[in-house]
Amino acid sequence: MKAIAGVSKNYTFYYMKYLFFISIMLVGVVHGQNLQYTTLKGRYIMKDSQCAGFDFIDSKTVLWYNELTCQYADTLRIKWIDKDTFITREKRRRNKTSPPRVEVYRIIKNDGKQVVIKSFWTGWNDFPDDLLTFIKE
């Protein structure tokens, strides 16, 4: 291999550059990962609803309560894409042939008491995306 002017053959320069790059990436991951989650903790009830809504349990788990079955919640995995965008995926497999239900959400507004979330339509047909308002319980 040909030596580059100013760099020794032991490639110290490249090694240091590599370490610097990895450390910057790790800092970005640590600071970006679940940043919004710190403000979304606990139960959020959908506006004009009795019990439908999210219950953010920890950084990997969220519960979804349906209006018809308030006592039973669907357990979902949560993954943060960035500080305002997250996806949820069913933990429990419904059957052997269907993929898990996946939802994509973006936080539009969060003032600590009320959260407005855009729910992106991911199913069949061409339905519009929804804006959902949740009240902190």
What domains are there in the chain, each with its CATH number? Answer: 36-136 (2.40.128)
| Tokens matching residue 24 | 């910057």
What pLDDT is attached to residue 93? 84
Q: Which of 13-22, 59-68, 96-105, 122-131 has the lowest mean pLDDT?
A: 13-22
Query: What is the pTM (predicted TM-score) of this model?
Result: 0.69
Contacts by 127-133, CB closer than 8 A, 24 or more apart: 132/46, 133/46, 133/47
Query: 76 near 93, Cβ under 8 Å?
Result: no
Instruction: Give the residue-averaged pLDDT of 22-28.
Output: 50
> pLDDT at residue 23 above 90?
no
**Which stretch of 20-29, 95-104, 119-128 has the lowest confidence by average pLDDT?**
20-29
